[in-house]
Structure 1
Amino acid sequence: MTDTAANNRPRAILPALERIYLPLDTLAETLLRIVAGLLLVTHGYGKILDPFGAAGMVEGLGFYPGVFWSPLLSATEFFGGIFIAIGFLTRPAAFAATIVLLVTVYFHGIVQGQGLGGAEKSILWAAITFFFAIRGANSQSVDAKIGRQF
């Protein structure tokens, strides 16, 4: 049974808890976006300091020329992470991050032969960034403050 009048969400088994869940809904989504973005920034920080440093690695994955793809990888992780965290151009930043993370799934799972165990973290991250690529940012974002989303 669903509550179709408000938001088409299933009704809580314990309705009294809705007073806790509903106000925290936006906060939880915002927190997930900020944490995901900041962790991408942290992961990309070393790469942005040496944007051509991963050229050999990306060529090893079949992305030629590495001098093009390496800085793109660096910018996607570092600046894309900042954009996701603050909720600015959230959809394109999250889409680009999702592509990078799917490549890491391939790298860990197939190239390095680690299977699911090696790729599971990248799969989880790709799912999170995919969520924001489709959903966009919420009301607690720069996108919302300027009144425009990509």
Structure 2
Amino acid sequence: MSTNYLLTAVFRPNYTANFWSQTAWAILRAVVGVMMIHNGFDKLSNIESFAQAYVAYIGLPFPIFFSYVAAFTELIGAPLLAIGLLTRPAAFGLLTTMCVAMYHHILVAGLSIPYLELSAIYAACFLFFLINGAGLFSTDALITNRLDANALSAQAKRIMLLERTYNASSKDKVESTQV
């Protein structure tokens, strides 16, 4: 498996060419990404309190470490999601933080919708972007187009070399039959 194939698989969004659908997709991605950034700042503003109230409460080891992991996942992943760069890995990290948040809310309040609502909505959005990618209007799509163009260019060069080799061997056969 080539590196280009792997990179293209990570960056290529699943999309239709419908302009309005892609516009809505980009707006959703940007809004959800921008709205998520403040959660990382909130965690960092009082990391010890967050570690005790949330991370230690659900029984994770090393609460300070995992609090920093959650905060930086949100601070790095949310802007990446907003601009559509490395969307699937960013969405995976953000989905993970929302799943942990939902687990915490279930432990604290049971299946109470008001507590789960925001985390569940964010989780659904992140799951959408994890599965479908960033969409047509994204940095990932630009990178994919560039990778595809390079892959097509390399493939065209291999075909031209193959044709030259074939033509050269055909020419040798013609010359040997004329002798």
Q: Which has the larger radius of gyration?
A: 2
TM-score (norm 2): 0.64
Return the structure number with greater relative CO, CA threshold 8 A, min gap 6: 2
- Find the partner of 1:67 among 58, 64, 68: 64
1:64-121 per-residue CA deviation (whole Å, 9 max, x = no partner) reads: 1012101100011111101100111110110111111111112223323362232122
2-structure distance, mates of 1:127, 1:24: 21
The reply to whether residue 27 of structure 1 matches residue 23 of structure 2 is yes
Contact 1:53–1:70 (CA under 8 A) maintained in structure 2: no
Contact 1:137–1:143 (CA under 8 A) maintained in structure 2: yes
Relative to its length, the structure with more helix (as a share) is 2
- Which of 114-123 and 33-42 deviates more? 114-123
Partner amino acid, structure 2, of 1:113: G
Partner of 2:41: 45
Question: Which ranges in structure 1 are unaligned for 5 or more consecutive residues?
Answer: 1-8, 10-21
SS at match of 1:61: coil
* Aligned residue runs from structure 1 range 1-150, under 5 A: 22-49=18-45, 54-56=50-52, 57-113=54-110, 115-147=112-144
SS at match of 2:85: coil
Partner amino acid, structure 2, of 1:95: F
Partner amino acid, structure 1, of 2:57: G
Identical counterparts, % of pairs? 34
1-structure distance, mates of 2:74, 2:27: 18
The alignment covers a number of residue pairs equal to 128
- Taking only aligned residues, the RMSD between alpha carbons, in angstroms, comes to 2.0
1-structure distance, mates of 2:85, 2:118: 25
